[in-house]
């Protein structure tokens, strides 16, 4: 992870008030939908992962403030404290994992079977190295249980400088896998996704 003193984290100045947000909401929403189309991956039939960045998290906070009618700096700061850990610094990737279950029966079957899935994501790079997911600490106590998992998880990946250099470009293919004992899947990242995520990893 970078030790640079400059940070990508959001501040109160990045979050506009309700009227200003209404004026830009449609434009921002369209931009984030386009952005997420390159940052969202499906792994098998029930797991999707979306890689977050400063813009997706700003949109999340603006939408939360709009829905919950948060108008004070104190209320907005609480949201910033919740979501800023999901803004990656150079050398990091941050992601939201969704277990896409549509009914109670599926949840009864899958959520106990997938305990520990948040630690089962692995990037496999062309140089032979692997980078395994880490549970985002701020959310772990709420989402990690011994007998049943949650349908949403927040994770991150920490890359060494050598692994950043091996991530895509001329370095070769990038594979994202899940190696959970009850759910094994992998996908090769498309060039557009590799380019997006390299933007997160590089200073």
No. of helices (H) and no. of strands (E), the chain: 7, 9
What is the DSSP code string of 112-156? HHTTTGGG-EEEEETTS-EEE-EE-HHHHHHH--SS---SEEEEE
Predicted pLDDT at 5: 43
Tracing tokens 């091996």 back to the chain, one arrives at: 166
d(CA 175, CA 187): 6
Low-confidence ranges of the chain (pLDDT < 70): 1-6, 138-144, 171
- What residues are paired with 41 via a beta bridge? 49
Give the helix ranges, DSSP H, for 145-202.
161-165, 191-201
Q: Which pLDDT value is given to residue 4?
A: 41
Looking up tokens 């039939």 gives: 45
Residue 16 CA to residue 112 CA, distance in Å, equals: 41
Taking the C-alpha atoms of residue 93 and residue 26, their distance in angstroms, rounded to an integer, is 27
Instruction: State the Cα–Cα distance between residues 9 and 4, nearest whole angstrom.
Output: 13
Determine the Cα–Cα distance for residues 125 and 132; give it in Å rounded to an integer: 11
State the pTM of this model: 0.90
Closest Cα partner for 39 from 64, 63, 62, 56?
A: 56
pLDDT of residue 2: 39
For residue 96, the cross-strand partners are 50, 154
Cα gap 73→124, rounded to integer Å: 42
Q: What are phi and psi of 99, to 5 degrees?
A: -95, 110
């Amino acid at each position: 992870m970078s030790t640079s003193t400059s940070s990508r984290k959001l501040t109160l100045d990045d979050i506009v008030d309700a009227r200003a947000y209404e004026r830009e909401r449609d434009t921002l929403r369209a931009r984030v939908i386009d952005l997420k189309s390159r940052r969202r991956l499906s792994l098998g039939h029930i797991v999707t992962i979306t890689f977050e960045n400063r813009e997706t998290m700003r949109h999340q906070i603006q939408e939360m403030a709009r829905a919950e009618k948060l108008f004070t700096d104190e209320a907005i700061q609480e949201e910033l404290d919740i979501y800023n850990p999901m803004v990656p610094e150079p050398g990091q990737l941050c992601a939201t994992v969704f277990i896409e279950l549509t009914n109670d029966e599926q949840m009864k079957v899958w959520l106990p079977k997938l305990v520990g899935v948040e630690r089962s994501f692995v990037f496999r790079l062309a140089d032979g190295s692997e980078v395994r997911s880490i549970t985002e600490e701020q959310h772990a106590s709420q989402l990690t249980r011994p007998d049943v998992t949650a349908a949403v998880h927040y994770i991150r990946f920490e890359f060494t400088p050598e692994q950043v250099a091996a991530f895509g470009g001329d370095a070769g293919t990038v594979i994202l896998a899940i190696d959970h004992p009850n759910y094994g899947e992998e996908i090769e990242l498309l060039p557009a996704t590799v380019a997006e995520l390299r933007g997160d990893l590089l200073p």
